[in-house]
Structure 1
Amino acid sequence: MDQSVFERDPSDPKRKEVTPLLKLVLELGPLMVFFFANSRGEWLIERFPVLANIGGPIFIATALFMVATVLALAVSWILIRSLPIMPLVSGIVVLVFGSLTLWLHDENFIKIKPTIINALFGVILLGGLYFGKSLLGYVFDSAFKLNPEGWRKLTLRWGIFFLFLAVLNEVVWRSFSTDFWVAFKVWGTMPITLLFTFAQMPLVMKHSLEPLAGKGAQGKEK
């Protein structure tokens, strides 16, 4: 596949900047749709009886989650003419396991989807380190520049964190109700991920090749 699908020159006239708010909506929007559809499944069926053919709330939520995921990827492509690697891989897994959930009418498939995605990312990152590659740099390189040591440390931390999320998802969906699991995906997993991300800022600042405070000064000097 053409690499330009994933990476686009910032000078490309077709490329548009995505505001932080819009980026957040594209990333969290499908998850919020999933949460809303599951919690208000009966309400949706009352207003759109055709949805009853899909099944209960979790199955309606799965179907809408798949639609929202495709729309988010489509909007991302239209705006920036690229498909971020992690959302793209996540989207593919959502479509595969979502389809299995609806086809076999088995909610366990959508429940193990986060386990598969997080375990996959964790194994890829840690496997890359084993072979001397800090693959996280290919994902975050456009956001900030780090020295090799910084990328190795950050990749290791994220690799372990992804495996932690995989184990956490298994514990939650196997130990609690479906409604609790859905709520935890939104109000548990996301805050944990945000806290972990913010906790990495000291490492990023320590190993950054372009200190945030120095970018403005560098621009003036030029």
Structure 2
Amino acid sequence: MKIFLDFFPILVFVGIYFYSGVKDPMQPAVIGLIIASAIQTVGSRLLTGKFEKLHLWTLLITSVFGAMTVVFHDAAYVQWKASILVWVMAGIFLYRQFILNKLFIKEMLSAAIEENLDVPENIWKKINLIWPVGYILFGFLNLYIAFNFSEAFWVKFKLFGLMGLTLTLVIYTISKIFPYIPKEESNQQTDFSEKTSPNKSNEKE
């Protein structure tokens, strides 16, 4: 459900843009994006019992640049918004790591699985650095696509590019922490083998 909420606004934006059937689909798509971001923020509050700061920042930036897009009938504002948003996210990662000495990706994963993973700190730091680097590069690529290709192509890139980036970063993260994920099944099988071992039974006798 949380993953759906994370991508809900962009899915609404792309859906309205391509299927609204109006002459200038950017206008209703941006309005839908703002409303969807508000729903995302409230929905997260209902699911987790608290507002997520990232969703609040997303709603604020989307509302400001989305409103400017609608008022001035200029898609450049919402196109810049996509880059500014990922740069803000990158800033959060870097600020927490180098100023607060906290690893944002570690906090998010630990909260998601409700368990502290026994991953070496240097591994967490590498992962936490890769995410903002990916976001920064994506922000520049987004602007390049926005001002060198058609509006419709940019909208597709916004959906599939962002999802592809996120998937790539998730796969990278999993590959790094996988060796440190507790193997419960292996432990359970070992315990069972020890309990049913003939040698253990003879020792008890």
Q: Same fold (TM over 0.5)?
A: yes
Describe the shift of the 1:129–1:75 C-alpha distance in structure 2 as closer, same or farther (beyond 3 A). Answer: closer
Alpha-carbon offset, residue 32 of structure 1: 1.2
Contact 1:85 1:139 in 2 (8 A): no
Describe the shift of the 1:215–1:149 C-alpha distance in structure 2 as closer, same or farther (beyond 3 A). Answer: farther
TM-score normalised according to structure 1 size: 0.73
Instruction: Give the percent of matched residue pairs that are identical in Structure 1 and Structure 2.
Output: 22
SS at match of 2:57: helix
Alpha-carbon offset, residue 24 of structure 1: 2.5
Alpha-carbon offset, residue 215 of structure 1: 8.3
- Per the alignment, residue 78 of structure 2 pairs with 110
For residues 161 and 112 of structure 1, the distance between their equivalents in structure 2, rounded to whole angstroms, comes to 17
Tell me how large the CA RMSD over aligned residues is: 2.4
For residues 84 and 27 of structure 1, the distance between their equivalents in structure 2, rounded to whole angstroms, comes to 11
Which stretch shifts more, 56-65 or 195-204?
195-204
For residues 169 and 133 of structure 1, the distance between their equivalents in structure 2, rounded to whole angstroms, comes to 28
Contact 2:123 2:176 in 1 (8 A): yes
Alpha-carbon offset, residue 112 of structure 1: 0.8
For residues 168 and 98 of structure 1, the distance between their equivalents in structure 2, rounded to whole angstroms, comes to 20
5+ residue gaps, structure 2, are 192-205
Tell me which structure has the larger Cα radius of gyration.
2
SS at match of 2:111: coil
Describe the shift of the 1:81–1:189 C-alpha distance in structure 2 as closer, same or farther (beyond 3 A). Answer: same
5+ residue gaps, structure 1, are 1-21, 46-54
TM-score normalised according to structure 2 size: 0.78
For residues 87 and 105 of structure 2, the distance between their equivalents in structure 1, rounded to whole angstroms, comes to 15
Which stretch shifts more, 156-165 or 119-128?
119-128
Report the residue type matching 1:214 in the other structure. Answer: E
Aligned residues: 184
For residues 146 and 187 of structure 2, the distance between their equivalents in structure 1, rounded to whole angstroms, comes to 50
Pick one of 169, 175, 184 that aligns with 1:214. 184
Contact 1:66 1:94 in 2 (8 A): yes
1:177 matched to 2:150? The reply is: yes
For residues 112 and 48 of structure 2, the distance between their equivalents in structure 1, rounded to whole angstroms, comes to 15
Q: Deviations over 1:33-74 (max 9, x none)?
A: 101111123x2x5xxxxxxxxx82101100011111111221
Structure scoring higher RCO (CA < 8 A, sep ≥ 6) equals 1
Pick one of 188, 198, 206 that aligns with 2:171. 198
Q: Deviations over 1:58-100 (max 9, x none)?
A: 0110001111111122122122212233233222211121112
Contact 2:16 2:28 in 1 (8 A): yes
Report the residue type matching 2:106 in the other structure. Answer: G
Alpha-carbon offset, residue 217 of structure 1: 4.8
